[in-house]
Amino acid sequence: MAKKKKSRKVGLIGVRKNPDHVNTKSSERPKKHKGKAPGSRHNVEQKKADKAASNSNKDPRLGSKKPVPLIKSVPAKIEKRKFATPAEELAAIEADDRLASLLDKLDDGEKITKEQQHYVDTTMARHKVLCDLMGISDDEDEEDEIDDLAALDALKLDDYEK
C-alpha cells in the first residue's frame, strides 16, 4: 500500500446540517451584552447630545448665552461721607490723593476722562463753598489787594492839588 501524506485539513466528520436551518438565528436567544459600547469613553458628550437633539440642537462646546456688555460699565456710586463740621470736610478734600493726582495731571497738560473731570469740578466747587463758609480767601485775592495798595502808593499828590 502506498504511503499517504499527512494533511492538516480535516474532512467532513458526520452529516452536514440543513443549510436552511443554519442561517436563521431566530431560534437562538439574543446575546447578552456585557460592559459598555466601544468608544463610549470618547463619545460621552455625543450620547447626551443625541438625547437632547429631540428637544433642541445644542452644542455642548458653546459657552454661556449671557449677553456681554460691550462698553465699560460705570462703577457703583461711592457713598458720600458725612462730616460733622465744614473744617473736617475741607481737610478731607485737601488730603484727597485722587484729587491731588488729577490736579497734577491737569497742571502737566495731560488729558483726563470725562468722569475724572466731573470729579475734579464737583470737588473743587465744594472746596470753594467751604472756603467761603469759613472765610478763607484764595491766594489770588490777596495778590489783587497787594496790587491795589501798590497802585495807591504810586499815586502822586501833586496831581490832585489843583
pLDDT tens-digit profile of 122-155?
A: 999 999 998 888 888 765 545 555 677 777 777 6
Residue at 91 is within a domain: yes
Arithmetic mean of pLDDT, 111-126: 93
Domain limits for position 128: 86-160
Cα distance between residue 157 and residue 155, in whole Å: 6
Q: How many structural domains compose the chain?
A: 1
Residue at 103 is within a domain: yes
Residue at 119 is within a domain: yes
Residue at 100 is within a domain: yes
Residue at 68 is within a domain: no
Q: What is the band of 60 on the pLDDT scale with cuts at 50, 70, 90?
A: low
Residue at 116 is within a domain: yes
Which of 133, 132, 154, 130 is CA-nearest to residue 141? 132
Distances (CA, A) of 3 to 6, 8, 10, 12, 34: 9, 16, 18, 22, 52
Residue with the larger pLDDT of the pair 73 and 129: 129
Is residue 121 predicted with pLDDT exceeding 80?
yes
Residue at 107 is within a domain: yes
